[in-house]
Amino acid sequence: MTLEKPKKRGRPAQLLQVAELHGFVEFLLEKDPRTELQNQVIDVLQTGGCNFEMLSEAQQILVKEALKPYREHIKLKLLFDELSIRAKPTEYETKFIELFQAYQNKELDLAETNILKTMCTRYYRFKAQQLQLNDLELYLSQIQKKDAGKKRKAENQRKFAIGGAVLAAFKKLNIDISDETPEQIINRIMNTQKFHDEVLQSEIFKEVLNKKKDPSEAKALFLDVLKGLATWEEVEIPIYYLEIDSILKKQ
């Protein structure tokens, strides 16, 4: 009795179109940096003329594995192209468009990229199963809550970091502000900046800046000029004394 070999179950070997693989190679070539797997796939496909059937079994497995992110990318782009030409996209569609544009500009982190992919999947599912619009709106509201929470967290972290920077700056300047209120510290910083700006607008500094275009060199020269002026005297009285008295008399 001859036993027949059991037939293998599962889907037949996937045949990938040459055009898709050419597009895949172009997609990978635009990536910078690329992973070792992506570089291997580029070599395999370019050597084999992007003919999937001519690849070895090991090479086919390699290509299939690397192809998954590309197909996800194409799925996202097709939906973006479809939604971006709509005259009046819904709030959900607008959010997807905004996220995809940020994704193209490489401005999304991993969590935001996953949200973009989930929005795409849910949108296609919504269309296929003709679900109620409330399903998409509910997910959008969840995203918006997360976005708002993320922004608040980022703002709080920035405020904390700026506060630490201010304390560190005063410490480096050997200025003790431990007994000062936040309002007093704000006034101290504002007054210092205002005085700094007024000095830069003075005629002496403007003339110094004409001689030394580099700001740091100009500031150093300005201080040297002030020190030099303090040595000028008229009848053994420093010139700057006379100027101070002259200005006070005018007030």
- pLDDT per position as a tens digit, 72-112: 999 999 999 999 898 888 888 888 999 999 998 888 888 88
Read off the pLDDT of residues 141-176 as tens digits, 9 standing for 90 and up.
877 777 777 778 888 888 888 888 888 888 898 988
In this predicted structure, what is the pLDDT of residue 97? 92
| 36 in a structural domain | yes
Which of 131, 151, 173 terminates a domain? The answer is 131
Helix (H) / strand (E) containing 70:
helix 57-84
Which of 131, 148, 167 terminates a domain? The answer is 131
Read off the pLDDT of residues 10-25 as tens digits, 9 standing for 90 and up.
444 456 678 888 888 8
Integer Cα distance of 33 and 84 in angstroms: 29
Q: How many domains does the chain have?
A: 2
pTM value?
0.51
Higher pLDDT, 8 or 227: 227
- Give the domain range for residue 85: 18-131
Q: Are residues 23 and 105 in the same domain?
A: yes
| 126 in a structural domain | yes
Q: Are residues 127 and 210 in the same domain?
A: no
Integer Cα distance of 160 and 167 in angstroms: 11
Average pLDDT over residues 130-143: 71
Which of 94, 114, 131 terminates a domain? The answer is 131
List the single range of 9-18, 48-57, 140-149, 204-213 with lowest mean pLDDT.
Answer: 9-18
Percent of the chain with pLDDT over 90: 7
Q: Are residues 120 and 208 in the same domain?
A: no
Higher pLDDT, 135 or 157: 157
User: Per-residue b/e over 175-212, b at no fewer than 16 CB within 10 Å?
Assistant: eeeeeeeeeebeeeeeeeeeeeeeeeeeeebeebbeee
| 74 in a structural domain | yes
CB 47 within 8 A of CB 65: no
Average pLDDT over residues 179-191: 89
